[in-house]
Homo-oligomer: A and B are copies of this chain.
Amino acid sequence: MINIRSVGVPGVILAIAASALHSPLVVSTCLSVLASICTYNAIPLVSEVFIKHGRFGKDLLKEDRPIIPESMGVVVGVVYFISMFLFIPVPFISWFNGVREEGLDFPHHKFAQFLGGLLALFSMLFLGFADDVLDIRWRVKIWFPLIASLPLLMVYAVTYGGTDVLIPLPLRGFFSDKILHLGIFYYGYMAALTIFATNAVNIVAGINGIEGGQTIIIAISLAINDMVQILTNPARRDAHMISLYFLLPFIGTTFGYLKHNWYPARAFGGDTFTYFAGMIFAVVGILGNFSKTVLLFMIPQIFNFVYSCPQLFHLVDCPRHRMPKINPKTSLIHPSTFDISKSKPLGKLIIQIFKTLGLTHITIDPETKRPLATNFTLINLVLVKFGPMSEAKTTLTVIIIQALSSCLAFTIRYLLVHLVYNREE
């Protein structure tokens, strides 16, 4: 037994640290807390440098339109990678501590999972930053995540390689087998997931705290799901453990960033942050072999994307900024609008359907007398439904919607799933 008096407090701390080293999860958690503190402290330190070199944007929803340093995803990413690089040896420490001599092979496949995941993430961090600096065209950058995910898909192929899906009970009448062999299409799905996740997070944007807020809820939900699986499903333990190792430092760094991005924002993440964050979800889904579950936790992003489609595909007018606008008298934010008359015929039909479903609000421009519809984004819809609000309250409402969607996702994943699949399957 350790005599506390003889070794003193540092000795006890060292002993705890040494035993904690046997639990990589404890080390990961400690590193994530440290990463959070580092990110929080680093952002104000580098803000001036970013502004001086042109990396800033104007906060359009404030009366004085202050200049805010942008691309702070660089800080989030760099701190994230430093923590991950320091962490990588930890899960393998028992191998370094003598297991090597006993002739046990090093688990290269697990190590490759870390490297492949980090490579995909670094690709997106780089491309996000390049986009912030060089303003790359949509039709080019939409393919970035596909390229970035190639090594990750190969990691999947050599680690799991499974491309079969279990057909839900109600649909089994249409198939001869209860298993559907998707083959190459499963890889197509995973590649599409990387494109979707990065871009879907990127277009829920425009008000203070929204990028960090939505992503931290998704990340925490996925981490809770990982912990539930680790505790209840021993066969899936390793897969969800690696997902946790990737998520915890992301939650840490994003939390440090969110404190500065929250209303009134002193830092913007830029595409650097949103692309990086979106890729995290795709990476953990693919590395943990739960790429379908990841989508369950992105219901608001899926809704926002589908809802945005008529504007993204130019069936109706799509202004450059679709973020809400501020009323300088009340300091409340209102939904922004677009001109209906610029719509294609199909677009006009969609506007009618959306109006009937209560998804858009039609007004008449007092000056031009032209009809206007509110822009098709989740944030504008929140303002249509709940009326004008302060910017902070709008962000909070969207985050609450994200959290409620996560509750729905857990219900589907753990309760409703038994309606469409047999329990024993």
Binding site for B on A (CB under 8 A): 46, 49-50, 53-55, 74, 81-82, 85-86, 88-89, 92, 96, 106, 108-109, 111-112, 114-116, 118-119, 122-123, 125-126, 129-130, 133-136, 147, 150-151, 154-155, 157-158
Give the residues in chain B near A123, CB-CB below 8 Å. Answer: 81, 122
Nearest to A134 among chain B residues (CB) is B53
Bound complex: CA A398 to CA B125 (Å): 36
Q: Could you list 5 further interchain pairs (A-B, Cβ under 8 angstroms) beyond the known A111-B155, A115-B119?
A: A81-B147, A85-B147, A85-B151, A114-B151, A125-B126
Give the residues in chain B near A49, CB-CB below 8 Å. Answer: 134-136
Give the residues in chain B near A147, CB-CB below 8 Å. Answer: 81-82, 85
Give the residues in chain B near A133, CB-CB below 8 Å. Answer: 53, 55, 129, 133
Bound complex: CA A114 to CA B112 (Å): 9
Cβ-defined contact, B53 with A135, below 8 A: yes
Given contacts A122-B122, A134-B53, A151 and B82 within 8 Å (CB-CB): no
Cβ-defined contact, A134 with B81, below 8 A: no
Cβ-defined contact, B130 with A130, below 8 A: no
- Give chain B nearest CB distance to A200 CB in angstroms: 23
Most buried by B among A125, A135, A136, A151: A151
- Give chain B nearest CB distance to A276 CB in angstroms: 11
Nearest to A132 among chain B residues (CB) is B133
Nearest to A150 among chain B residues (CB) is B85
Bound complex: CA A308 to CA B92 (Å): 42
Give the residues in chain B near A96, CB-CB below 8 Å. Answer: 157
20 contacts between A and B (CB under 8 A): A49-B134, A53-B134, A53-B135, A55-B134, A81-B147, A85-B147, A88-B151, A96-B157, A108-B108, A108-B158, A111-B112, A111-B154, A114-B151, A115-B115, A118-B119, A118-B151, A119-B122, A126-B129, A129-B133, A133-B133
- Give chain B nearest CB distance to A240 CB in angstroms: 20
Give the residues in chain B near A81, CB-CB below 8 Å. Answer: 123, 147
- Give chain B nearest CB distance to A93 CB in angstroms: 12
Give the residues in chain B near A114, CB-CB below 8 Å. Answer: 151
Give the residues in chain B near A115, CB-CB below 8 Å. Answer: 112, 115-116, 119, 151, 155
Give the residues in chain B near A111, CB-CB below 8 Å. Answer: 108, 112, 154-155, 158
Give the residues in chain B near A88, CB-CB below 8 Å. Answer: 150-151, 154
- Give chain B nearest CB distance to A267 CB in angstroms: 14
Partner of A150, one of B46, B86, B136, B155: B86
Bound complex: CA A88 to CA B118 (Å): 16
- Give chain B nearest CB distance to A151 CB in angstroms: 6
Give the residues in chain B near A108, CB-CB below 8 Å. Answer: 108-109, 111-112, 158
Nearest to A117 among chain B residues (CB) is B115
Given contacts A150-B88, A158-B106, A122 and B116 within 8 Å (CB-CB): no
- Give chain B nearest CB distance to A411 CB in angstroms: 38
Bound complex: CA A147 to CA B86 (Å): 9
Bound complex: CA A55 to CA B134 (Å): 8
Bound complex: CA A73 to CA B55 (Å): 20
- Give chain B nearest CB distance to A25 CB in angstroms: 20
Bound complex: CA A119 to CA B122 (Å): 8
3 tightest Cβ-Cβ pairs between the two chains A and B = A108-B108, A115-B115, A85-B150
